[in-house]
A and B are shown apart, each in its own frame.
Chain A
Amino acid sequence: DADVTQTPRNRITKTGKRIMLECSQTKGHDRMYWYRQDPGLGLQLIYYSFDVKDINKGEISDGYSVSRQAQAKFSLSLESAIPNQTALYFCATSDLKASGNLYFGPGTRLTVL
């Protein structure tokens, strides 16, 4: 079984809809991250969490919110989706002692029409 799983893997939605992307990990890591990938723009950090009670904004947090429900679960929400949020979204985890070594999930491809 994969160490970092994301659901759904693909989602097509309409402008204005609320969307939740979920991430679960079995690596026992404290740190979890949500990244967005757009062609030519690389990986941009949306939000990150260093433990259950810790939530931090990344580079592009506007229009997004997160919830760290447990050490193993970190969800990303788009309260009112817009077309320019169409992208590939990755969840990642890292260990406290090796925060430069990220383990990425398989990604969620989101299309907002």
Chain B
Amino acid sequence: QQQVKQSPQSLIVQKGGISIINCAYENTAFDYFPWYQQFPGKGPALLIAIRPDVSEKKEGRFTISFNKSAKQFSLHIMDSQPGDSATYFCAVPVRGNNRLAFGKGNQVVVIP
């Protein structure tokens, strides 16, 4: 069973600050590591993903940093905005059956 651990469980950040949330995993199959964003009352949606042939990927204010040897990847939200307040899930491919295992989520609250 794939173990995916996210930290911290919740995070409060001032507007304009940097939010950093982390994901650690045990084993993986194919190389694809996504972060999903979920707003209250909505389904999760893919935010950003990385393949581990690179150590970092940036899309706008969102950056994934990947450390393959440590089996960890993190999401950085630069210049955090109140609209970024959401729950963020990391996911890791499960070896053997071609699907994703999700972490328990990080709740991020950005205060004005």
Distance in Å from the Cβ of A63 to the closest Cβ of chain B?
A: 19
Instruction: Mark contacts of A53-75 with chain B using CB atoms, 8 A cut-off: 1 yes-contact digit, 0 otherwise.
Output: 00010010000000000000000
**Cβ of A100 and Cβ of B93 under 8 Å apart?**
yes
Say which residue of A4, A42, A48, A105 sits within 8 Å of B103 (CB atoms).
A42
Q: Which residues of B lie under 8 Å from residue A48 when comparing CB positions?
A: 99
**Total A-B contacts with CB atoms under 8 angstroms apart:** 53
We find that the number of chain B residues with CB closer than 8 angstroms to chain A is: 25
Q: Which residues of A lie under 8 Å from residue B41 when comparing CB positions?
A: 107
Q: Any chain A CB within 8 A of the CB of B104?
A: yes
**Cβ of B104 and Cβ of A42 under 8 Å apart?**
yes
**Cβ of A107 and Cβ of B98 under 8 Å apart?**
no
Distance in Å from the Cβ of B30 to the closest Cβ of chain A?
A: 7
**Cβ of A56 and Cβ of B97 under 8 Å apart?**
yes
A: residues with CB less than 8 A from B are 4, 33, 35, 40-45, 48, 50, 56, 59, 90, 92, 99-107
8 additional A-B residue pairs with CB within 8 Å, beyond A59-B1, A90-B43, A106-B42 = A40-B9, A42-B102, A43-B89, A48-B99, A99-B98, A99-B100, A101-B34, A106-B43
